Chains A and B, each alone.
Chain A
Amino acid sequence: MLHSAREPQGGFSFENCQRNAFLESSLKGLRVPHARKTGTTIAGLVFEGGVILGADTRATNDSVVANKNCEKIHFIAPNIYCCGAGVAADAEMTTQLMASNMELHALSTGRKPRVATVSRMLRQMLFRYQGHIGASLIIGGVDITGPHLYSVHPHGSYSHLLFTAMGSGQGPAISVLEDRFKPDMTLEEGQQLVVEAVTAGILEDLGSGSNVDVCVITQAGIKIQRAVSTPAVLSKS
């Protein structure tokens, strides 16, 4: 079929999904390349002075580790960061899109960005794509209304919580958080707990591994620490 030249539409294109499905059904034995998942443990909690986010650093391609030290904590705004799990490309592109839109929104409204706005923009977009964008995100930040933590699922549902974990390692991480979380912890206690939660995911989940990254967000500013902890180091003996 001949198409007249079309202006590039912008946004995501899912044309190849239909083609891949057709190829898989008509050509036996053909395995279509699958999008790389981050097979992740991400966690976040609210403490007395703000929000702490944590993530592991392993990215997997089925059962091969594609990246031993990838960054899963993404910038959204100077006071808002976002951990991404699920399909690596979807999480990366979605957070970049949000960061861009939030900057424009802040310029247009003349106000500092709010975490609730990021959560709303994200879930409205993910809902529109009906779950085809495989991004599970934990958004944390401190805005004019205080510290907030949201988790957003690929189909567009959200929760506003004091602590949460997502990704393939969420089970072990949530267990640690459920056991030891208290409201209004200090920075040291909170950071220790986030590191323990992500470590549980790294040790117990095959899809999570390598180091723990931590991002602390307070009224004063943000502090990102790459490789705060390396739970599974091969001993040299």
Chain B
Amino acid sequence: MHSAVRMLESSYFGNLPGVGEVHTGTTIMAVEFDGGVVVGSDSRVSAGEAVVNRVFNKLAPLHQRIYCALSGSAADAQAIADMATYQLELHGMELEEPPLVLSAANTVRNITYKYREELSAHLMVAGWDPYEGGQVYGTLEGMLIRQPFAIGGSGSSYIYGYVDATYKPGMSPKECQQFTTNAIALAMGRDGSSGGVIYLVTITAAGTKQEIILGKELPQFYDE
């Protein structure tokens, strides 16, 4: 099943959007650590071969300590994120406490699964809650799977080897941030549909911290 998931990810590379449709053609990543999560993305939105937005933030807040990372069709992903944010806010009010990350992931998954034939987007959900701590959920194709770290989007195909070789359980928040930054920078270097800047969000019990890593500050790797 794992290899089937990987095959689907690489098909994103083959399905370049036509001139009309806008894609996020992306690299997104989320890593769990003890006490929270780090979520990261690139910032390129393309329509065919043109870049329509080079600074788009693909990390959308679903709730105070829950974020989702968008990939695939821009319109579909943004619409799903808006719907999920609305449903979660209502859910949180009814509960009279912040919703679980699992609830957020399920909300997104239910939308993605019900309309899987019509939609073409993958949203990764990550956050922190007091019951289970930091969690990362993948919702590709409408499934729900918790992972210690997850990568997604067209650029992720190029970094499977890197993340598998580099990840160690029990990394500190700073190590997770560096891991995410390096992985996304490598993917941006090889994937035509990923680029721009890196957005990073670190979610812990204390709150949410957003960083933007601009051009010159991106990690440099072998590039002729």
> What's the Cα separation between A126 and B21 when bound, in Å?
13
Chain A residue contacts of B45, Cβ below 8 A = 157, 159
| Interchain nearest-CB distance for B183 vs A (Å) | 25
In the complex the two chains form, is B78's CB within 8 Å of A157's CB?
yes
Q: Determine whether A154 belongs to the interface, using a CB cutoff of 8 Å to chain B.
A: yes
> What's the Cα separation between A158 and B81 when bound, in Å?
13
Chain A residue contacts of B95, Cβ below 8 A = none
Chain B interface extent, by class: 10 to 19
**Which of B22, B74, B75, B82 gathers most chain A CB within 10 Å?**
B75
Which of B46-54, B135-143, B163-171, B190-198 contacts the other chain? B46-54
Within 8 A of A (CB), among B46-97: 47, 50, 52-53, 55-56, 73-76, 78-79, 82
Chain B residue contacts of A151, Cβ below 8 A = 52-53
The chain B residues found within 8 Å of chain A, CB to CB, are: 20-22, 45, 47, 50, 52-53, 55-56, 73-76, 78-79, 82, 118
> What's the Cα separation between A158 and B74 when bound, in Å?
8
**Which of A131, A155, A170, A171 gathers most chain B CB within 10 Å?**
A155
In the complex the two chains form, is B56's CB within 8 Å of A127's CB?
no
> What's the Cα separation between A155 and B76 when bound, in Å?
8
> What's the Cα separation between A158 and B77 when bound, in Å?
11
| Interchain nearest-CB distance for B197 vs A (Å) | 14
In the complex the two chains form, is B50's CB within 8 Å of A171's CB?
yes
In the complex the two chains form, is A158's CB within 8 Å of B78's CB?
yes
Q: Mark A113-156, 1 if CB is under 8 A from B, else 0.
A: 00000001001101100110000000000000000000101111
In the complex the two chains form, is B52's CB within 8 Å of A159's CB?
yes
> What's the Cα separation between A158 and B79 when bound, in Å?
10
6 additional contacts, CB 8 Å, given A153-B52, A156-B75, A157-B45? A126-B75, A155-B21, A155-B73, A155-B74, A158-B78, A159-B45
In the complex the two chains form, is A131's CB within 8 Å of B20's CB?
yes
Chain A residue contacts of B53, Cβ below 8 A = 151, 159, 161
Chain B residue contacts of A161, Cβ below 8 A = 53, 55
**Which of A126, A127, A156, A157 gathers most chain B CB within 10 Å?**
A157
In the complex the two chains form, is A123's CB within 8 Å of B47's CB?
no
Q: Mark A21-63, 1 if CB is under 8 A from B, else 0.
A: 0000000000000000000000000000000000000000000
Task: Tell which of B21, B47, B52, B79 touches A127, judged by Cβ atoms closer than 8 Å.
Answer: B79
| Interchain nearest-CB distance for B131 vs A (Å) | 33
In the complex the two chains form, is B50's CB within 8 Å of A157's CB?
no
In the complex the two chains form, is B20's CB within 8 Å of A157's CB?
no
Question: Can you report 8 A-B residue pairs in the complex whose CB atoms are below 8 A from each other?
Answer: A120-B82, A123-B78, A131-B21, A153-B52, A153-B74, A155-B76, A157-B22, A157-B78
Chain B residue contacts of A157, Cβ below 8 A = 22, 45, 73-75, 78
In the complex the two chains form, is B79's CB within 8 Å of A156's CB?
yes
Q: Mark A169-181, 1 if CB is under 8 A from B, else 0.
A: 0110000000000
> What's the Cα separation between A158 and B47 when bound, in Å?
12
In the complex the two chains form, is A154's CB within 8 Å of B20's CB?
yes
> What's the Cα separation between A126 and B79 when bound, in Å?
11
| Interchain nearest-CB distance for B54 vs A (Å) | 9
Within 8 A of B (CB), among A56-86: none
| Interchain nearest-CB distance for A182 vs B (Å) | 15
Nearest first, the 8 closest Cβ-Cβ pairs linking A and B are A157-B74, A155-B75, A156-B75, A157-B75, A159-B53, A157-B22, A127-B79, A153-B22
